[in-house]
Amino acid sequence: SQVSLYGGQVLSWRTDQGEELLFTSSKAIFKPPNPVRGGIPICFPQFGNRGALEQHGFARKKLWVVDGNPPPLHPNDSYGKSFVDLLLKPSEDDLKMWPHTEGNLAMVSRIRNINCKPFSFSIAYHTYLSISDINEVRVEGLETLDYLDNLLRRERFTEQGDTLTFESEVDRVYLSSSDVISVFDHQSKRTFQIRKKGLPDVVVWNPWEKKAKAMADLGDEEYKQMLCVDGAAIEKPITLKPGEEWTGRLELSLIPSS
């Protein structure tokens, strides 16, 4: 794996054979103040564009540091695995993330309120999955869920299909999902499994052709090779009282399929 200190962003996750599993645009900009178009940007302390904060919060545009004194990990989490502890320390919060690589990619965020006043936040691991063809992908685990459609002013709908497939732009926040979501890539014969904890919502996003052409850091046709499926906490912001801590976990794994 490869992690950028700018934004605390995972940029690469590869198989043992060297095959890249995360999408990064060929036109991605690797210089601040831009977050890289791809990998897994951390959207914190908000997802979207609401209130006074900038789009998707400030964490993805801040320089993180390697934490020299991380909290202890459970032995089962650390044995035989490589990991790095990154620390983002704005004036009021700590955000810690550990990417582990041993077949799976696991990230843990700990957010602690060290101020004297409560604060609220939302968060999303904005995961760009590398896929063969957006028309050949389906997502399972979202059936019967309510979702907010960002293309229709966050109007609330209920998912009617058994699986989610893609024929046009999609920008949705699925609410109160199970902790396991599967993304099937038929053409490459592989399945991404997303396991999450403390992250009740799932964002699904693909800009499709028109918006892709309008984005300077995304190739015109690259929307076909990417799909964002995020573990997130968006609908109900998390509030921390002074001294309280929140922990969220996201783990990606790859399962070969026939």
Which residues are documented as binding site for substrate?
A: 37, 55, 60
- In contact, 139 and 166? CB cutoff 8 Å: no
- What's the CA gap between 112 and 99, in Å, rounded? 19
- What's the CA gap between 27 and 21, in Å, rounded? 18
At 84, list the tokens: 């790095």
- Pairing relationship of beta strands 82-83 and 86-88 according to DSSP bridges: unpaired
Give burial (CB, 10 Å; 0-12/13-18/19+) of 177. buried
- What's the CA gap between 80 and 156, in Å, rounded? 44
In angstroms and rounded to an integer, the radius of gyration of the C-alpha atoms of the chain is 18
- In contact, 142 and 184? CB cutoff 8 Å: no
Q: What is the CB neighbour count within 10 angstroms for residue 156?
A: 12
* Contacts for 89 with CB less than 8 Å, ≥ 6 apart: 65
Annotated binding site: 37, 55, 60
Interior angle at CA 74, CA 73 and CA 79, nearest 5:
90
